[in-house]
Amino acid sequence: MMNHAIPSHRRPLRYAIIGGGMSGLLAGIKLKERGEDDFTIFEKAEAIGGTWRDNRYPGVACDTSAHSYTFSFAPNPDWSSYFAPGGEIRQYFERLVSRYGIAPHLRLNTQVTACDWREDHWRVTTADGSSLDVDVVIAASGVLHHPNIPEIPGLDTFSGARFHSAQWDDGEPMEKRRIGVIGNGSTGVQLVSALAGTAAHLVHFQRTPQWIMPCTNRKFTEAEKQEFRTDPAKLEAARNDPAAVARRARFTAAIIDAQSPELLEIQEEAERNLDQSVRDPALRELLRPDYRAACKRLVFSEDYYQVVQQPNVTLAMGGIERIEPSGVRMADGTFHELDVIVLATGFKTNQFIRPTQVKGVDGRLLDDAWAPNPTAYYAVCVSGFPNFFMLNGPTGPVGNFSLTDIAERQWGYIDQLIDELRAGHCVAISPSPEAHAEYDRQREEASRETVFASGCKSWYLDAAGVPQIWPWSYAHFIEVMREPCLDDFVLRRSLTPA
């Protein structure tokens, strides 16, 4: 067993944390808990919050239960509803900065452009040309921070307002406007539900329909919130709500085995929701996907099917031929006149820390190590890149479980690896090429059995159609993250190779 206690003769370490979102803040808080203060959190934007800073569009909310979307050490008794709105989540992370004294460690408006390994440390360079030498780099840049702008002919010719959902223009009025929403993932569905009530007309453009899971986003009463504030056991019970735990167990069993009875249950629930919610048979069939439920990321909504049946909402299925100054021309020739176009077209999810240039051992670029696809040993570290650790990195369970839970468990794993540096057992640690390759082999083999590989196109897949997401159970994730297998790692014990 590894010794998790802080060695009394530990070597003081310097840290660079890249990203001031949920994972970056977690890393800073955990370092402070250990009495380590020599760390800097680099954030390219003007404020912390990551995804929840950028996504401020109407209706934005988390589809994980609010009490599950908190750190175990910082429960929040004040969530307003079962699924928290984005603004409340952003405020939760802002409060953590204050509570744990993270502000002095933040460098906002600072883009890290390069990380270069220098034998026993990293040199971190920022866009203003300054540099910082550190022992450890924590890449906490997340997945959803490079907006995906579709290559639609004529997009730049549109004369009205146009913006991506993650670049929302608060100054642009939406009431009594003709609005087009392009994209039908969770963001598109949330936007349609939020905007349709006041729009003059709303057109929802989608190439392929999504399976919509029913949900109820009930409000917490003031009495319940007061109970959460005064009774820690009640608050902990809310974090481990049996219904949420059961849903997670069913979902994780379903996605790792495309033939599982759990997936059949989810499929039947999604079909029942569609069949019972949409009256018009023709519209119902337009909204019926031709792939398995959960092949793409499931979308949850209380009211989307009801909203698309409103008289001021049009469902535009199929391809877009081009965008013209006054609206959108479909491939079938139909034209939709619009005042506003919102691109709910997601993100470039294979970028992670990029465009930061990362050079590892012998000057090897991370871009080259990640050709053709980004990968990380158990989603946290990369062979040939010592003392470089990732939170919510490539091939992790980002679509499977609560991201706060994932990040906490990954940090517990990473922290044990850093203990080897603290103890002076080595100056550099990274997974061996053999261990990293074996992890990828096992992952790709397991992914063939998952629902992600059952025949749809999604951001979970690489160019060859292989799922690039965690293909195993939640229990396996917990077990793997409990303790690193040091036999899988190369520990360099001095500057002179042995």
Task: Tell me if 341 sits within 8 A of 316, measured CB to CB.
Answer: no
* Sign of torsion over alpha carbons 365, 369, 370, 371: positive
Residue with the two structure tokens 């040199």: 123
b vs e for 72-98, b when ≥16 Cβ sit within 10 Å of the residue's Cβ? eeeebbebeebbbbbebbbbbbbebbe
- Provide the H-helix boundaries in 257-335: 261-277, 281-286, 304-307
For residue 434, what are the contacts with CB-CB under 8 A and spacing of at least 6? none
Residues spanned by the domain of 474: 15-44+110-146+348-492
390: which residues sit within 8 A by CB, 6+ positions away?
Answer: 138, 139, 140, 352, 353, 376, 379, 380, 381, 382, 410
Q: What angle do CA 201, 204, 210 make, to 5 degrees?
A: 150
Answer yes or no: are the C-beta atoms of 140 and 21 closer than 8 Å: yes
pLDDT in tens, 319-341: 999 999 999 999 999 999 999 99
Checking if the pLDDT of 497 tops 60, the result is: no
pLDDT digits (tens, 9 = 90+) for 79-111: 999 999 999 999 999 999 999 999 999 999 999
Mean pLDDT estimate for the chain: 96
Is 289 a domain residue? Answer: no
* C-alpha to C-alpha distances, 197 to 177, 291, 302, 378, nearest whole angstrom: 11, 30, 15, 44
Task: Based on the fold, state whether residues 323 and 182 are members of the same structural domain.
Answer: yes
**Within a domain: residue 65?**
no
Amino acid 399: pLDDT: 84
- Residues 163 and 177 occupy one common structural domain: yes
Choosing from 308, 330, 346, the residue where a domain stops is: 346
* DSSP per residue, 84-104: -BHHHHHHHHHHHHHHTT-GG
Chain segment 386-445, per-residue pLDDT in tens: 999 999 999 999 988 999 999 999 999 999 999 999 999 999 999 999 999 999 999 999
- Please state, in angstroms and rounded to a whole number, the distance separating the CA atoms of residues 42 and 237: 35
Considering 317, 346, 375, which residue would you say is the last residue of a domain? 346
364 and 457 within one domain:
yes
The CA-based diameter of the chain, rounded to the nearest angstrom, is 74
- pLDDT over 90 at 9, yes or no: no
> What is the rounded average pLDDT of the residues 259-288?
98
User: Is residue 404, in this structure, part of any structural domain at all?
Assistant: yes
> Do 198 and 306 share a domain, yes or no?
yes
Query: What amino acid is encoded at 339 in this protein?
Result: D
Cβ–Cβ < 8 Å for 205, 181 = yes
pLDDT exceeds 50 at position 8: no
Distance CA 298, CA 248 (A): 13
Residue 309 domain-assigned?
A: yes
Q: Give the span between the Cα atoms of 240 and 225, in whole angstroms.
A: 16
164 in the same domain as 122: no
Number of domains in the chain: 2
Residues in contact with 85: Cβ distance below 8 Å, sequence separation at least 6, in sequence order: 60, 61
Burial 257-268 (b: 16+ CB within 10 A, else e): bbebebbeebbe
Q: Please answer whether residues 158 and 324 qualify as being in contact, where contact means their C-beta atoms are separated by less than 8 angstroms.
A: yes
Residue 257 within a domain: no
157, 130: one domain: no
Q: Are residues 172 and 320 in the same domain?
A: yes
Share of the chain above pLDDT 70, in %: 97
Write out pLDDT tens, residues 57-80: 999 999 999 999 999 999 999 999
pLDDT at 10: 64
- Residue 474, domain CATH: 3.50.50.60
Does one domain contain both 328 and 308?
Answer: yes
| Tens-place pLDDT, residues 37-49 | 999 999 999 999 9
CA 332 → CA 207, 282, 318, distances in Å? 13, 18, 8
Q: Which of 26-35, 244-253, 480-489 has the lowest mean pLDDT?
A: 244-253
Q: Are residues 315 and 452 in the same domain?
A: no
The DSSP output letter for 120 is S
Q: Are residues 23 and 166 in the same domain?
A: no
Q: Dig out the tokens for 493 from the structure.
A: 């014990």
3-state secondary structure 123-144: EEEECCCCEEEECEEEECCCCC
User: Residues 311, 437: one domain?
Assistant: no
Give burial (CB, 10 Å; 0-12/13-18/19+) of 285. exposed
Residue 447 resides in a domain? yes
On whether both 134 and 33 belong to a single domain, the answer is yes
